[in-house]
Structure 1
Amino acid sequence: MPLRPFPLFVALFTASAALAHSGVSNPAVKARMHAMMQIADNTKILGAMAKGEAAFDADEARAAAAAIAAHAASVPTLFMAEEHDPKSEALPAIWQDFDTFGQRSEALTLAAAEAAGTIETEADLKPALARIGGTCKSCHQDFRKPS
């Protein structure tokens, strides 16, 4: 996956997620949105390092990847109950094909956990970020309303 479109994806995701949070009344949907925002925020840390906007710091990169893995691991549980809110970006396809949704969440968890254990140099960052971003994109294209 080319890295250039990924920073734009992160920026758009973060901006749309921030707007989506205002006015959400369903606590279950708020919890899901919070977890997704944490994933986006930590992905943004990795993206800033990969683009050279922030200095590369292996410890910070591994911590961000570990946080992504932890939040991604919670996603299936957060979505288990079919909860709705007008501001939610979750598509009904999540509950219609929950097995695939869970597998994609697991793929993100594994990609981020691997990154958390292997990012040592700046050269390690871009391929790790590409794997993380690819898993996000594959899930969003089928299970998230377009922004």
Structure 2
Amino acid sequence: MDRVEESLKAFVGIKRTNDMLDRIVKQDMKNYGLNVTEFAVMELLYHKGEQPIQKVKDRILIASSSTTYVIDQLVKKGYVIRRQNPKDKRVIYAVLTEKGHELMHEIFPQHAQTIEKVFATLNDEELVVLRKALKKINTNSTV
């Protein structure tokens, strides 16, 4: 086996798969009137509860200015509010509103099913192996 050639083929396969997943997720989010970044913020708040805005930025991997814009958009839509930490006025939390929580409660199961369908061609063992292999690459990168 030529590891260089196989590594390049794996890389191309991952990139093509990522592009396909991006298209599917973008279309799925569009159905709910959200973009991918807005959904990522709401999903974080839905599953982890209120978060300092700095942590939101770190968790969803976007620039600080973009985080402010995305949260502003979610505030305008009534899905998120900002709450100042009473003990440290420098810390602002993003908090899912009742309207945001209701939307996520409605759409997240449908979104999860959409993602599950993408991986339906893999059996359970293959899915676990894929997840572990991707995690191994992600956490052990030496480049």
Give me the TM-score of the superposition, normalised by structure 2.
Answer: 0.31
Q: Between Structure 1 and Structure 2, which shows a larger proportion of helix residues?
A: 1
RCO higher in structure (CA 8 A, sep ≥6): 1
Q: Between Structure 1 and Structure 2, which shows a larger proportion of strand residues?
A: 2
